[in-house]
Structure 1
Amino acid sequence: MNKFFSTCAAALVITSALSAGAVFAQQNKKFPVIPLTTGMHVIQAEVVATEAERQQGLMFREHMAQNEGMVFLFGAPAGVCMWMKNTLIPLSVAFIDDDGKIVNIENMKPQTLESHCSKKPVRYALEMNEGWFKQKNIKPGSMIDGLPKGR
C-alpha cells in the first residue's frame, strides 16, 4: 500500500472513531435538571423542550436513579403520544395538563414502537422508572409542582 492510501486509511479510522464517540456522547447526554415535587416526593427531572431533545429523550440510557426522571415540555396543550424506540429501560409516563394535574399514566415496555397517548391535551409528559408512580401512590388527579411555565 502506498503512503497516500495509508494516510487516507488512518484518517478514515480516526474520523470513524471520533464520529462513534460523538454519537455515544449524544446518546448519553444529560439535559438540564430541575426539581419537581408531588406531595412529599422530590423528582430530579431532566428537561427536554426542543423537538430534537424530545426525540432523543432517554434513548440508549441503561439506567436511571430511583427519583430521577425526564420532563418533556410542549409549547401548548396538545394530544401527545410517546414511544420507546431505542429506549432500554422500562418507563412509566404521566401526561400532565397545563395546571400540573396528571391526566393519565401509562407503562411502557423497552424498545417498542407502541404509542402511549394522553387522554386529553397536555403541556407536559413526565417519564420515570416503570412503577414509580404506583409505588408512591401517585395517580391521575395528583399534582406535579415546579413545572416550567411559558415555554
Structure 2
Amino acid sequence: MLSALGWAAVLCFVFLAGIDGGYAQKKLDFKQDSLRIVKQAGGRYTFQIELARTPAQRQQGLMFRERMAPDAGMLFDYERPQPVAMWMKNTYIPLDMIFIDGAGIISHISKRAVPLSLQPISSNGPVRAVLEVNGGITDHLGIRVGDEVRHAIFGNDHKR
C-alpha cells in the first residue's frame, strides 16, 4: 500500500509524463522504399525513403530525429492532390521540402526549413505528396521545379 507521499509521487509522475501536450508518441513504423528523381537537366538520384501514408504517420513525420543519412528521406502521401502546409515542430534536422503534383512532377521546393519552427510552409497549390530530405540536398544535387519523382504512388515507377 502506498503512503500519501508515495501517491503524490505517482500522481506527479503521471502529470509530468503528460505535460508534453500529447506529442510524446509511440514510434510508428514506416514502410521502407526507394524513389528516383529524374532531373530535366540530366541525371538521376535515388533516395531511400520512409513512406508516411496514414494521418498518424504524416503527423509524426521526422519529429524528434537527430540525423538522417544523405540519401534518405520521407515521402508524405496525401492520396490525392490538395493544398498542403508543413511545419518543423519538434523536428531537429534542417530539411528541404519537395512538393510533388499528382503526376510526380516537382511543383515547389522549400529549402533549408528551420528546425523547431512553427512557421507554416505552403505547397503553393495542390500536391499529391511531399518529399522531405536533408537541408541543402536539392541545391547540392541540382534538383529543380519540373524534375520528375518516380515512385509507385504516382504510377510512374515503371520508368525507373
Scaled to the shorter chain, the TM-score interval is 0.7 to 0.9
* Contact 1:100 1:147 (C-alpha < 8 Å) held by counterparts: no
Q: Hey, what does 2:41 align to over in structure 1?
A: none
CA separation in 2, counterparts of 1:56 and 1:92? 17
Pair 138,48 (structure 1): closer, same or farther in 2 beyond 3 Å: same
Does 1:74 find its partner at 2:73?
no
Does 1:135 find its partner at 2:134?
no
Q: Hey, what does 2:114 align to over in structure 1?
A: 109
Q: CA deviation at 1:25?
A: 7.8
- Matching residue within 45, 52, 64 for 1:60: 64
CA separation in 1, counterparts of 2:62 and 2:2? 44
CA separation in 2, counterparts of 1:30 and 1:132? 25
Taking structure 2 as the reference length, the TM-score comes to 0.77
Q: What is the RMSD computed on CA atoms of the aligned residues?
A: 2.8
Structure 1: which 5+ runs fail to align?
Answer: none
Task: Write the letter of the residue equivalent to 1:132.
Answer: I
* Contact 2:94 2:134 (C-alpha < 8 Å) held by counterparts: yes
CA separation in 2, counterparts of 1:63 and 1:137? 22
Q: Which has the higher strand share?
A: 2
Task: Write the letter of the residue equivalent to 1:57.
Answer: G
Q: CA deviation at 1:97?
A: 0.4
CA separation in 1, counterparts of 2:97 and 2:71? 14
CA separation in 2, counterparts of 1:3 and 1:45? 49
Q: Per-residue displacement from partner, 1:12-64 (whole Å, max 9, x unpaired)?
A: 89999xx9xxx8783x5451111101132110110001111101000000000
Q: Per-residue displacement from partner, 1:58-78 (whole Å, max 9, x unpaired)?
A: 000000001000000002100
Taking structure 1 as the reference length, the TM-score comes to 0.81
Q: Number of matched residues? A: 146
CA separation in 2, counterparts of 1:71 and 1:61? 15
CA separation in 1, counterparts of 2:73 and 2:29? 11
CA separation in 2, counterparts of 1:80 and 1:104? 11
CA separation in 2, counterparts of 1:140 and 1:34? 23
CA separation in 2, counterparts of 1:113 and 1:10? 34
Q: CA deviation at 1:11?
A: 8.0
Task: Write the letter of the residue equivalent to 2:72.
Answer: E
Structure 2: which 5+ runs fail to align?
Answer: 39-43, 156-160
* Contact 2:97 2:131 (C-alpha < 8 Å) held by counterparts: yes
CA separation in 1, counterparts of 2:145 and 2:154? 21
Task: Write the letter of the residue equivalent to 2:73.
Answer: G
* Contact 2:99 2:108 (C-alpha < 8 Å) held by counterparts: yes
